[in-house]
Copies of this chain bind each other. A is one copy, B any other.
């Protein structure tokens, strides 16, 4: 029925993913209106009929790409940190995993379509917005919990949540993997910037880099 998708794996799920990644790349390059189903099929190394094995319609494709982006996000960022008991450690781990997601691995185009494409309407848009809101709610309630536990000073949870998100998600706009700041150093610097003024350390426990902080404040 179709030529094989240009990806090594034979697993259907992997091939489906490759279609979504390739379509995302093309939509970012040409724009959603200008990228025809034929263009997307060509880029995937499929016939038009072959592409329709993977997608129901062009309209549906954007929704699929965004749901795929949210799946990866939940799998790699949200799920692994949910069980961390301490709210500040949970938020720090969440920041680390989200930074890794936007600096490594995940293709940039899927992120761009997830956060910049407003073409979805009606129920499709509501579905993605509901998934995004769950992340905002998770952040807000973690900040609230951290305040209740006396682990951070007082903040407006909603502002803290979106400041966290903005700091982390803006990274895909400027970060270059071959640049002078590697992802692990970026993570430490951002955790330090964000939580440095927020966290209240338990008595007898000092910050991880006390020498640096003390030298500067001496």
Contacts and interface: CB of A to CB of B under 8 A. Distances in A.
A36 to B, nearest CB: 11
Interface string A127-142: 0000000000000000
Contacts of A194: 163, 193
Contacts of A167: 163, 166-167, 170
Interface of A: 28, 30-34, 115-116, 118-119, 147, 150, 152-156, 158-160, 162-163, 165-171, 173-174, 180-181, 185-186, 189-190, 192-198, 200, 212-213, 215-217
27 contacts: A31-B31, A31-B33, A33-B33, A33-B34, A152-B216, A153-B196, A153-B213, A154-B212, A155-B193, A158-B181, A159-B189, A159-B190, A162-B171, A163-B167, A163-B194, A165-B170, A166-B166, A166-B168, A166-B173, A167-B167, A167-B170, A169-B170, A170-B170, A193-B198, A196-B197, A197-B197, A197-B198
